[in-house]
């Protein structure tokens, strides 16, 4: 191992940003619970919960820039990739295994393809999922055309990996001014989706006025996925560099938006953003404009508040630590339960309301418990072992 591959100690964490990631992950679960009932029962309460993915990409760009921008004199590209794989891939594998273990429990009219799946396809999907290789549409075993039909949210981790690769090969080498120009330019593509321009005629159903999508290997879905990654990741990276340049003794974070109780205010802002009712009708211009404003303006403000604020009491610190710890395991393991929830609701749509409420409260609680169990019994021990074996000091 080269001198540049020495084990690097972790930097101090932005604990509020960790907590906000957990808040967003919880909102994703609630969003998915309500999503099952549209349009049969009630309405979606967390109308813009899908924007959490764009928020995650922004956080990722920020954290990657903060953690690694000044370390390339002691780290190789391969060393960076190993560190990111150690951090991310154990739970990618856990999510795929969980999805495979629970796959057939969702069989029924909602997912009629499940009972028709061939054994070789099922096994191949498991292998591809474990290796983070997207499944082509010809390997669809559920009926939704997902890149990982065992665990749908895996698509966003695929783009997370792509963002990490682009950072290591290209973005880290670029001056801040170029990153700023790329960030500004990428807004065009966000607006292309949200304002219905469809300049490249890639959307087969025409303008959709939304960023929803990214989970299939088709031209339109791949375009949506790259668009959703581009601005948030670049913006997060840009913010990390700008704050680094502004650090002073009196302002150690560099952020100009630090506030007392920053975690609670930023959490409230996130909840409001995700819960905002659809504006002007589903997939219309007005709501697309709101999505663009949230991604381009509001999410960076949330990150600046989180980066510039500190927890001032033990309760806030404990919540940030807990939510930050379970955020990734929660996001990457909850959806196999959602497949089962969807199938159950389809079979029992006429059940009393209190049963539906109990079911979904249970889904949320069990998802949190599973995430915590994976974190403590699997993710942390495996990552500690991998750090010793793969990233050990030579």
DSSP of 237-256: HHHHHHHHHH--SS-TT--S
Per-residue pLDDT, averaged over 195-204, amounts to: 94
pLDDT for 42 equals: 53
- Angle at alpha carbon of residue 86, lines to 81 and 87, rounded to 5°: 100
Consecutive H or E run containing 358 = helix 353-374
In a domain, 320, yes or no: yes
In a domain, 10, yes or no: yes
In a domain, 270, yes or no: yes
Per-residue pLDDT, averaged over 50-76, amounts to: 96
- Residue for token pair 């630590």: 321
Per-residue pLDDT reduced to its tens digit, 332-349? 999 999 999 999 999 998
The answer to whether residue 382 scores a pLDDT higher than 70 is yes
Per-residue pLDDT reduced to its tens digit, 219-243? 999 999 999 999 999 999 999 999 9
Rounded-to-integer distance, Cα 191 and Cα 257, Å: 26
pLDDT for 23 equals: 98
Percent residues over pLDDT 90 in the chain: 84
The structure's pTM equals 0.94
pLDDT band at 13 (very low <50, low <70, confident <90, very high): confident
CB 262 within 8 A of CB 308: yes
> Range of 134's domain?
3-387
pLDDT, averaged across the chain: 93
The answer to whether residue 3 scores a pLDDT higher than 60 is no
pLDDT for 101 equals: 98
In a domain, 393, yes or no: no
Q: Tell me whether residue 261 is exposed, middle or buried, using C-beta atoms within 10 angstroms of its C-beta: 0 to 12, 13 to 18, 19 or more.
A: middle
In a domain, 392, yes or no: no
Per-residue pLDDT, averaged over 128-133, amounts to: 98
pLDDT for 223 equals: 98
The answer to whether residue 394 scores a pLDDT higher than 50 is no
In a domain, 46, yes or no: yes
Percent residues over pLDDT 70 in the chain: 95
pLDDT for 296 equals: 99
Per-residue pLDDT, averaged over 76-83, amounts to: 95
In a domain, 224, yes or no: yes
Number of domains the chain is built from: 1
In a domain, 36, yes or no: yes
């Amino acid at each position: 191992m080269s001198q540049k591959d020495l084990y690097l100690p972790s930097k101090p964490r932005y604990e509020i940003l960790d907590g906000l990631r957990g808040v967003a992950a919880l909102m994703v679960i609630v969003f998915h619970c309500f999503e099952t009932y549209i349009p049969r029962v009630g309405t979606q309460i967390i109308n813009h919960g899908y924007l959490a993915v764009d928020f995650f990409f922004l956080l990722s760009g920020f954290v990657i820039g903060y953690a690694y921008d000044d370390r390339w004199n002691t780290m190789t590209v391969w060393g960076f990739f190993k560190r990111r794989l150690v951090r991310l891939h154990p739970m990618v594998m856990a999510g795929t295994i969980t999805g495979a273990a629970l796959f057939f429990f969702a069989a029924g009219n909602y997912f009629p393809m499940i009972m028709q799946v061939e054994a070789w396809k099922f096994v191949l999907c498991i292998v591809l999922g474990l290796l983070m290789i997207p499944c082509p549409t010809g390997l669809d075993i559920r009926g939704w055309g997902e890149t990982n039909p065992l665990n749908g949210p895996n698509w966003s981790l695929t783009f997370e990996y792509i963002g990490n690769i682009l950072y290591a090969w290209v973005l880290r080498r670029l001056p801040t001014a170029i990153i700023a120009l790329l960030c500004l330019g990428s807004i065009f593509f966000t607006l292309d989706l949200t304002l219905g321009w469809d300049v490249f005629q890639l959307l087969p159903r025409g303008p959709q006025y939304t960023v929803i999508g990214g989970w299939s290997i088709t031209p339109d879905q791949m375009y949506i996925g790259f668009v959703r990654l581009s601005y948030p990741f670049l913006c997060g990276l840009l913010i990390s560099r700008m704050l680094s340049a502004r650090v002073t003794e009196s302002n150690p974070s560099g952020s100009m938006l630090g506030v007392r109780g920053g975690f609670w205010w930023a959490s409230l802002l996130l909840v409001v953003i995700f819960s905002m009712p659809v504006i002007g009708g589903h997939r219309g211009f007005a709501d697309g404009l709101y999505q663009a404003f949230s991604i381009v303006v509001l999410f960076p403000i949330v990150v600046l508040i989180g980066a510039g604020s500190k927890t001032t009491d033990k309760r806030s610190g404990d919540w940030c630590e807990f939510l930050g710890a379970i955020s990734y395991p929660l996001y990457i393991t909850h959806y196999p339960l959602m497949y089962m929830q969807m199938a159950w609701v389809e079979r029992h749509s006429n059940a009393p309301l209190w049963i539906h409420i109990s079911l979904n409260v249970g889904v949320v609680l069990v998802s949190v418990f599973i995430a915590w169990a994976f974190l403590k019994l699997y993710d942390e021990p495996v990552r500690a072992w991998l750090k010793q074996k793969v990233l050990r000091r030579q």
